Amino acid sequence: MSGPMIEVRNLTRAFGPVTAVNGISFSVARGEVFGLVGPDGAGKTTTLRMLCGLMDPTSGEMRVAGFDTVTQTEQVKDHIGYMAQKFGLYGDLTVEENMRFYADLFGITGQDCEDLMANLLKMTRMEPFRARPAAKLSGGMKQKLALMCTLLHRPQILFLDEPTNGVDPVSRRDFWAILYQLVKDGLTVMVTTAYLDEAERCDRVALMHQGKFLLMDTPQVLRESLPEVCYELRGDDMRSVRDRLRQLPSVSHVELAGNSVHVFLRAGERETELFAAVPGASFRKVLPSLEDVFISTVRNAGAARDAA
């Protein structure tokens, strides 16, 4: 199809008095990795479930692979793969048996099934483990197996709901390497994550909070979007330094960042007061991380709401 693979207009979903998704709009192009980022309860999973045709919206419009998700649900499901947070693997079945089970569900048989399974096992480097029961796989291997089962029917769009949650850093890196390979072959990916560092791997990111999009753009543009200037400070006893810096009128906010702190200077303020407050410390101007951007944006939105 030509045009966006995913189109969403004014999408809203309410559960009684609670509005989980509140009027969001966006589109995703073919071959794009689009990240939906936010804390638990932000509305990420609800959004994905509606896009997959598993839940109807309260209002708004959605088209996936050119089909309406409400009136053409079966056509949508033919073109997508959905990997939920808890994918339905069978622990007493081996890697290969799980794959064959899902291949049967998708109606994939014969040589087509054999070739596809072989390619997926090779791509994920899971060939040596094809006879291992799923229950005895590591967390990262289970995610790879879930991904392979999701890809068996060659979807055009892949929806991933926090696919690396609780997975070790090396396995997370391997998982993303596989995703990049799939995107290179033409797959479109929409992924939710609570890991802000992981969101930087996406082509575009929407920062979601309380059902709404706060910001949406490329990670680089989002990192450059804050009006405050960010400094990284390194030294001794960073927690007491953070508390001291928070008292300065020129400072918007201060956040711990590993063994350093990120200090946000209000727009138009000079650094003189900042340097004088912590003599001898090491300062350098840095580009904020996506985590910095998210925290700052939520904080500013809350301050604006309180002032209204």
pLDDT (tens digit per residue) in 203-260: 999 999 999 999 999 999 999 988 888 888 887 777 888 888 888 888 888 887 777 8
Instruction: Enumerate residues 6+ apart whose C-beta is below 8 A from 161.
Output: 44, 45, 48, 82, 83, 84, 85, 192
How large is the average pLDDT for residues 98-125?
89
Of residues 101 and 234, which shows the higher confidence score? 101
Q: Are 211 and 36 in contact (CB under 8 A)?
A: no
Going along the chain from its start, the domains and CATH numbers come out as: 6-218 (3.40.50.300), 227-287 (3.30.70.100)
Report field, pTM of the whole predicted structure over 0.85 = yes
Q: CA nearest 167: which of 204, 193, 189, 148? A: 193
Please tell me the distance from the alpha carbon of residue 294 to that of residue 308, in angstroms, as a whole number: 21
Of residues 298 and 155, which shows the higher confidence score? 155
Torsion angle, CA of 269/270/273/274, rounded to 10 degrees?
A: 90
pLDDT of residue 292: 86
- Residue positions counted in the chain: 308
Backbone angles phi, psi at 248, to 5 degrees: -75, 130
The 10s digit of each residue's pLDDT in 107-120 is: 888 888 898 899 89
